[in-house]
């Protein structure tokens, strides 16, 4: 039943799958971190890439085969945040929260990791099916920057893989991690941002109400409660579009 729901929602994003159980992998990340280059490495396609930000404005999709299974891969627009202030942010956010990719690979730039972690934490608030891909390690090495990926994975509570997408480095390891996550072999425990006690108490109350909705299993209730507190109107538009129109799921 849930697979059928997500099949319909994914179609709404023009993601065409051969069957409802074909895994969907999203590539998210700040602009210019090498998502499209990674996409090309994974799929063997030649999507145009360039070194200016904000280029990918539509969702590009492709496929790759690994160990006998086909994976659909979706290149999301580059964004610094998912607060849905721009159309790029809205598309990336709606895809992650409504189409529920089987894995979201967050591509981060090894040369300026800190700036990229804001988006990683925002995505970890929505989903625990995350792999962080620290790309541009060749560029980082050139600048004598070394990333302790083991410590980063422990801090974030999700797998971290190093890559230099332009040279095809790290691609096989990423594919194998994706397979393991899709098959449920990787248990993650994402770092959750905790707010002050009053806010947490309020979040608990809102979450309890959300959990009573028939559609609540399609979304992370804590994340939705945060959006409610934020006064984020755009989330209701998404719920109408992807739950009610696609699956007839009522939410009140």
Ligand X SMILES: Nc1nc2c(ncn2[C@@H]2O[C@H](COP(=O)(O)OP(=O)(O)OP(=O)(O)O)[C@@H](O)[C@H]2O)c(=O)[nH]1
Contact region for Mg ion (CB under 5 A) — 52-60, 79-87, 95-103, 207-215? Answer: 52-60
Q: Which does 127 bind (CB under 5 to 8 A by kind): Mg ion, ligand X, none?
A: none
CA atoms lying within 13 Å on the CB side of residue 38: 34
61 belongs to the binding site for Mg ion (CB under 5 A): no
Adjacent-strand bridge partners of 109: 135
Integer distance in angstroms from the first to the last C-alpha of the chain? Answer: 20
43 sits near Mg ion (criterion: CB under 5 A): no
Q: 7-46 mask for ligand X (x: CB under 6 A)?
A: ----------------------x-xxxxxxx---------
Minimum CB distance to ligand X, residue 219 (Å): 26
CB nearer to ligand X: give 126 or 136.
136
**Of these, 30, 33, 36, 116, which contacts Mg ion (CB under 5 A)?**
36
| Chosen from ligand X, Mg ion, none, partner binding at 104 (C-beta under 5 to 8 Å by type) | none
Give the angle subtended at the CA of 182 by the CAs of 180 and 184, to the nearest 5°: 70
Q: Would you count residue 138 as binding ligand X (CB under 6 A)?
A: yes
Q: Which ranges of the chain would DSSP assign to H, the alpha helix?
A: 2-12, 35-43, 87-98, 113-126, 137-142, 149-156, 171-182, 197-211, 221-230, 234-239, 245-247
Choose the one of Mg ion, ligand X, none that binds residue 110, judging by a C-beta under 5 to 8 angstroms depending on kind.
none
Whether residue 243 contacts residue 216, with contact meaning beta carbons closer than 8 Å, is answered with no
How many residues sit in the footprint of ligand X (CB under 6 A)?
A: 23
As beta bridge partners, residue 25 has 73, 103
The residue number whose beta carbon is nearest to ligand X equals 78
Residue 33 engages Mg ion in binding (rule: CB under 5 A): no
Closest CA to 30 of 135, 102, 131: 135
Q: Which does 231 bind (CB under 5 to 8 A by kind): Mg ion, ligand X, none?
A: none
């Amino acid at each position: 039943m849930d697979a059928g729901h997500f099949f319909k929602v994914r179609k709404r994003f023009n993601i065409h799958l051969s069957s409802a159980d074909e895994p969907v992998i999203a590539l998210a990340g700040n602009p210019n971190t090498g998502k499209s280059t990674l996409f090309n490495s994974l799929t063997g396609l030649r999507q145009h890439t360039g070194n200016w930000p904000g280029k990918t404005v539509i969702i590009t999709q492709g496929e790759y085969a690994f160990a006998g299974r086909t994976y659909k891969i979706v290149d999301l627009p580059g964004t610094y945040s998912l607060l849905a202030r721009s159309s790029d942010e809205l598309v990336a956010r709606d895809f992650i929260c409504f189409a529920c990719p089987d894995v979201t690979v967050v591509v981060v730039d090894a040369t300026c990791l800190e700036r990229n972690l804001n988006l990683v934490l925002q995505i970890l608030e929505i989903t625990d099916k995350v792999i962080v891909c620290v790309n541009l390690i060749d560029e980082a090495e050139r600048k004598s920057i070394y990333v302790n990926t083991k410590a980063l994975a422990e801090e974030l509570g999700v797998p971290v893989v190093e890559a230099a997408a332009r040279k095809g480095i790290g691609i096989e390891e990423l594919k194998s991690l994706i397979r393991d996550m899709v098959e449920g072999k990787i248990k993650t425990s994402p770092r959750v941002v905790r707010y002050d006690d009053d806010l947490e108490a309020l979040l608990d109350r809102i979450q309890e109400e959300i959990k009573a909705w028939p559609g609540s299993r399609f979304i992370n209730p804590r994340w939705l409660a945060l959006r409610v507190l934020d006064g984020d109107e755009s989330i209701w538009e998404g719920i109408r579009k992807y739950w009610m129109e696609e699956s007839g799921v009522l939410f009140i």
